[in-house]
Structure 1
Amino acid sequence: MTDSLLQHHQYGKRAIRLVHVTRDGDRHELTDLDVDVTLTGEFEETYLTGANAGVLPTDSQKNTVYAFARQHGVQRIEDFALLLARHFVRAHETVKRARIGISRHHWDRITPQHSFVRSEGELRTVTVTHDAGKTWVVGGLTGLRLLNSTGSEFKDFPRDEYTTLPEAGDRILATSVSAGWRYEGTRGDWDAWHGKIRAALVTAFTETYSRSLQQTLYAMGEKALAACPAIAEIRLALPNQHHIAVDLSPFGLDNPNSVFVATEQPYGLIEGALMREGAVGADAAWW
């Protein structure tokens, strides 16, 4: 045996599937969620000795999510996540920090009453982290697919003996946006704020003449901060979803930038974070 110290520990329940129907007469509202619970606290003994006296079962965590959905509803995922995070810290002495992550699947209404069709791809997200000192609310989205068929270039980059990429003066720029933004407070018009930030990200992407995806990322973050004063910072991850012009010369055909092959892997991944000037930085745990 060697001397060792337990440096970090946490546990929880992942991928709790929750579908909630709000019935208001003939018109129903559908909420479809994936919920993650992560708890940090005084659980050293179960790691070191196997003693479980302070360990809330993950099955109990799952059941809490379902019970709270029935008791409180889940229409606004930010409020639902706040409710759960505060509960786990308040109700269980050994839990010192709770993090609730929620992803919401979008369903479009196809009749005025109770029929829906699911929109694939984009998810609305929230992560709430709560402890005795602070509560962080981080809104976000993933899978927002954007494409400009022109208005993008990539030139004047360094070249070495391994460089084969040609310069591009007019290229397709495509990405699938993952974004997270930290709110200043724990109360607000979450739906309206989410809509403003999403619209700002889309507008910045479409209106920016892009000389690099890095430049586009900064423009998107800057516009989101301007659109919603309620957020202190935003983090963005933009994969560069390459579209490569196909060489049609073997067939006696030209290709005036009109025929492409879309590739999934490998891909460039551009990441960045912007903070509002004067804002207070968050604990690393918020992300």
Structure 2
Amino acid sequence: MAFVLGHNQYGKAENRVVRVFRDSDPHEIVDYDVSVALWGGQDAPHLTGDNSPVLPTDTQKNTVYAFAKEDDVVAQPESFGIRLARHFVDDTEPITHARVRIEMYPWTRLGNPHAFTRDGRFVRTATVTYDGSTTWVVSGVEDLWILKTTDSEFADFLEDRFTTLAPTHDRLMATSLRAQWWHTSEDVDWGKSHDRVVQTVLETYGNHHSLAHQQTLFDCGAAVLEEQPEIAEIRVTAPNKHHFVYDLARFGIENAGEVFHADDRPYGLQELTVRRDDAPAPGLAFDPGQGW
């Protein structure tokens, strides 16, 4: 029986980079977690232990920090990811592909121009994949918590002998949303575009009378694509953050949807993609290794 080497990649994960722009007044700051994955031309180290084609992961780490100092593109995770990915492929033989994933932790300025507080509303993400000729840029957001106390229903679903869930026409609905959207252009104001997507999702989710969580999520994705033509596809992962009305009747206390027990598992999980019907194939925008 013969064995062959399949897809493989290697890199330096979770490089924590904080960059302070001291030449601006007031100071600016970006806070990143940068992960690099490289592949191409790596048969020898796997099959014979010959490390001559390997760019050490320690070198990759040092490159991330050096570029954070040398290039102002570090101010936006997408542009920083593009800079790094192209360097690793264009300047390093025999690497053919690079993927740079960045998590950005927003900070909000306090009254003092040089003091900040961590903004915990969400984590901003960017993933850049480059193959030597084409660059795929996928922006995103994670841990975007949204909760609605009404205007959400769930009824008329399939039932069988194991069904215990009662239909409802008024429930509390909450999620910790993760979304990724693929740009077909690099001529983008990355910060402005990201802010618009987040605001569109929040406004759509909040103002939508939901007959199903899936319906609300599709409408959020469609609204993003409608507003920003340069976005070809958006993927959404949204767990139900269940809140169950707590049984107070046994104590003689009425609870008309006012006191809930927040339960973290098990939970419903909705995942979907909304894309333009004329959008080009995403290629490596999400795969391999990107997933949802």
Stretch of structure 1 that moved more, 238-247 or 105-114: 105-114
The Cα RMSD (Å) is: 1.2
The letter of the residue matching 1:111 is G
Q: Hey, what does 2:37 align to over in structure 1?
A: 38
After TM superposition, the structure 1 = structure 2 runs for residues 95-110 of structure 1, keeping only pairs within 5 Å, are 95-110=95-110
The letter of the residue matching 1:35 is V
Following TM superposition, by how much is the alpha carbon of 1:96 offset from its aligned partner in structure 2, in angstroms?
Answer: 0.2
Following TM superposition, by how much is the alpha carbon of 1:214 offset from its aligned partner in structure 2, in angstroms?
Answer: 0.6
Q: Is the 8 A contact 2:136 2:284 kept in 1?
A: no
CA distance 1:7–1:285, change in 2 (3 Å): farther
Greater share of strand: 1
* 1:232 and 2:232 correspond: yes
Q: Which runs of 5+ in 2 are unaligned?
A: none
What is the rounded CA distance, in whole Å, between the counterparts of 2:123 and 2:79 in structure 1?
17
What is the rounded CA distance, in whole Å, between the counterparts of 2:214 and 2:267 in structure 1?
14
What is the rounded CA distance, in whole Å, between the counterparts of 1:25 and 1:109 in structure 2?
14
SS of the counterpart of 2:198?
Answer: helix
Q: Hey, what does 2:197 align to over in structure 1?
A: 197
Following TM superposition, by how much is the alpha carbon of 1:279 offset from its aligned partner in structure 2, in angstroms?
Answer: 1.3
What is the rounded CA distance, in whole Å, between the counterparts of 1:285 and 1:50 in structure 2?
31
Following TM superposition, by how much is the alpha carbon of 1:81 offset from its aligned partner in structure 2, in angstroms?
Answer: 0.6
Following TM superposition, by how much is the alpha carbon of 1:215 offset from its aligned partner in structure 2, in angstroms?
Answer: 0.5
Following TM superposition, by how much is the alpha carbon of 1:284 offset from its aligned partner in structure 2, in angstroms?
Answer: 4.2
What is the rounded CA distance, in whole Å, between the counterparts of 2:25 and 2:140 in structure 1?
32
Per-residue CA deviations over 1:37-61 (Å, capped at 9, x if unaligned) read: 0001000111111110000000000
The letter of the residue matching 1:17 is R
Q: Is the 8 A contact 2:138 2:285 kept in 1?
A: no
Q: Between the two proteins, what is the percent identity of the paired residues?
A: 43
CA distance 1:25–1:147, change in 2 (3 Å): closer
The letter of the residue matching 2:101 is G
Q: TM-score, normalised by structure 2?
A: 0.95
SS of the counterpart of 1:12?
Answer: coil
What is the rounded CA distance, in whole Å, between the counterparts of 2:23 and 2:55 in structure 1?
36
What is the rounded CA distance, in whole Å, between the counterparts of 1:267 and 1:79 in structure 2?
36
Alignment: residue pair count: 286
Per-residue CA deviations over 1:62-113 (Å, capped at 9, x if unaligned) read: 0000000111031111111100000000111110000000010011111342
After TM superposition, the structure 1 = structure 2 runs for residues 56-75 of structure 1, keeping only pairs within 5 Å, are 56-73=55-72, 74-75=74-75
SS of the counterpart of 1:45?
Answer: helix
